Amino acid sequence: MSPAHRKLLKAFLSAFLICLIFYVGVYFVLSCLGGYYFNQSGKVRYHSIGLAVSDISTWNPKGCWFQYRFKNTRGEYVSRGNELGYLFAPLIMLDRRFFHPTEVLIESINPEETD
């Protein structure tokens, strides 16, 4: 590898590391200002009109909204959220897994829908 390529690689890695630290730092601040909010898994619905019931409580950093698994009316699992939620989705999923787990408020009555 030529010295010019090494210098370019070093500059790229430095910029990447700075961006990563900034990304995680901004998320940390937003997470500290966040809270739990009622949400719908899509598994519990009003049968007469098909609307999802707020059956879970999920952690959301300030200004972010992201849900990885929502069961839509066709029975498909989709993700949903706002722009900041999608931007920070990897960190939100890690945060919920290790620090702020989703709270189930109403269990699904269908035994095959456990996850």
Can you give 28-46 as a three-state secondary structure string? HHHHHCCEEEEECCCCCEC
pLDDT for 111 beyond 70: no
17: pLDDT strictly greater than 90: yes
pLDDT for position 110: 60
pLDDT band at 50 (very low <50, low <70, confident <90, very high): confident
d(CA 39, CA 13): 39
Reported pTM: 0.86
What is the sign, positive or negative, of the torsion defined by CA atoms of 64, 68, 69, 73? positive
Distance CA 48, CA 35 (A): 32
